[in-house]
Chains A and B, each alone.
Chain A
Amino acid sequence: MDPVFRWIESSALSVWTRESTSLLAYPAILSAHAIGMALAAGVNAAIALRLLGAAPGIPEAEMRRYAGVVWIGFAVNAVSGMLLLIAYPTKAMTNPIFYVKLSLVAVGLAVFVAVNKRLGQWTSAARPWIGIALLVSWGGAIVAGRLLAYTYRRLMAG
């Protein structure tokens, strides 16, 4: 994989993201990634809390109105995450936790899509399990993402 990593690392976009001293480069991308995370994981947490019995006065089906916020957060993070990956491909792709994070995001998103479609129709037996699944997958994705800063073995291939 090293030749591929080196090729990405030497691309203009990778060099700019990594080395530019502009606030609009790495700092802005990291900030966007944190804001997108808060939107996507935060709204999922709100839906999970409602399913687990908090704020029972919220008409559950109406929470579908907030799905757009999850998708905006996800889109922001897909783009910013891709840029972070292009900046440091070796750092992410040689770290097993990176794949754990991607899997947890995929699970969280899949559960969200399935749950959101039928909000307001879930049986009382299923509700707490769905809530827990949302909290564990999104919370786990956040933890795995945070650990990437401390667990990488190689920063760059070049």
Chain B
Amino acid sequence: MVNFQMWLVTVFASVKPIGRLMHTAWGWPVAESLHFIGLSLLIGTVGLFDLRLLGLGRRIPIAALHRLIPWGLAGFGINAVSGIAFLLTEPDQYVYNPSFHLKVLFIAAAGSNALTFYLTTYRKVAADGAPADAPPAAKAMAAASLSLWVGVIIAGRLLTFYRPFPCQPPEPGFLATCIPGFHANWK
């Protein structure tokens, strides 16, 4: 896994044009601004839908509120693109960062949770004449979705505080949380 991480960093770092664009005066700030706008869109639509499933605004039909979800997906798309731009520009700030590992894990979990929701209860809760109160299973998935997205935001904000430090090659175990092979006199 450590070797895989080192390989990833080399591959990401080899994508030069995006890094050059991101290192212009406006590159990084613009991408960061888009990343925060995308996250607001996601929480304002997907998060609001979760709150509706949990019982807030019962007189709004679940299917009607669901029509806002594509906008949340657009927000996620903006964040995937800007996020990949960060990753390709400064790969070792992310690939060895424990907060980034957690963030990716939370995003994957939120995605699986959403997929499970669509495969199991979505049809029932969004059907014509469906009761205003969502079933317990849907509520549980809504609560999981909200918590996971909040977790994604927190892990994202903590990235800066877990910037990986240089370490000797043998030190990392399964997953490197420091920059291996970087012989600096940090000790």
The verdict on A55 contacting B157 (CB below 8 Å), with A43-B44, A66-B56, A139-B37 known, is: no
Q: Which of A1-9, A10-18, A56-64, A109-117 contacts B (4 or more CB under 8 A)?
A: A56-64
Q: Which of A57, A65, A69, A150 contacts B29 (CB 8 A)?
A: A150
Could you write out 13 A-B pairs with CB less than 8 Å apart? A34-B153, A34-B157, A35-B150, A35-B154, A38-B43, A38-B153, A42-B45, A57-B67, A59-B60, A142-B33, A146-B29, A146-B33, A149-B29
Shortest CB-to-CB span from B56 to chain A, Å, is 6
Name the prevailing secondary structure of the A interface residues. Answer: helix
Q: Which of B28, B29, B153 contacts A35 (CB 8 A)?
A: B153
Shortest CB-to-CB span from A64 to chain B, Å, is 9
Docked-complex contact B57 and A46, CB < 8 angstroms: no
* Inter-chain contacts of B28 with A (CB < 8 A): 150
* Inter-chain contacts of A30 with B (CB < 8 A): 157
Docked-complex contact B41 and A45, CB < 8 angstroms: yes
Shortest CB-to-CB span from A91 to chain B, Å, is 16
Contacting B at CB under 8 A, from A18-48, are 23, 26-27, 30-31, 34-35, 37-39, 41-46
Closest residue on chain A to residue B51 by CB atoms: A69
Which residues of A pack against B, CB within 8 Å?
A: 23, 26-27, 30-31, 34-35, 37-39, 41-46, 49-50, 54-59, 62-63, 65-66, 69, 138-139, 142-143, 145-147, 149-150
A-B contacts counted at CB < 8 A amount to 113
Which residues of B pack against A, CB within 8 Å?
A: 28-29, 32-33, 36-37, 39-45, 47-48, 51, 56-57, 59-61, 63-65, 67-68, 71, 150, 153-154, 156-158, 161
* Inter-chain contacts of B57 with A (CB < 8 A): 62-63, 65-66
Shortest CB-to-CB span from B49 to chain A, Å, is 9
* Inter-chain contacts of A56 with B (CB < 8 A): 67
Alpha-carbon gap, A3 to B160, bound state (A): 31
Q: Which of B36, B43, B51, B64 contacts A142 (CB 8 A)?
A: B36
Q: Which 9 residue pairs across A and B have the least CB separation, nearest first?
A: A42-B44, A57-B64, A55-B67, A38-B43, A65-B57, A42-B43, A41-B40, A31-B157, A45-B44
Alpha-carbon gap, A146 to B68, bound state (A): 26
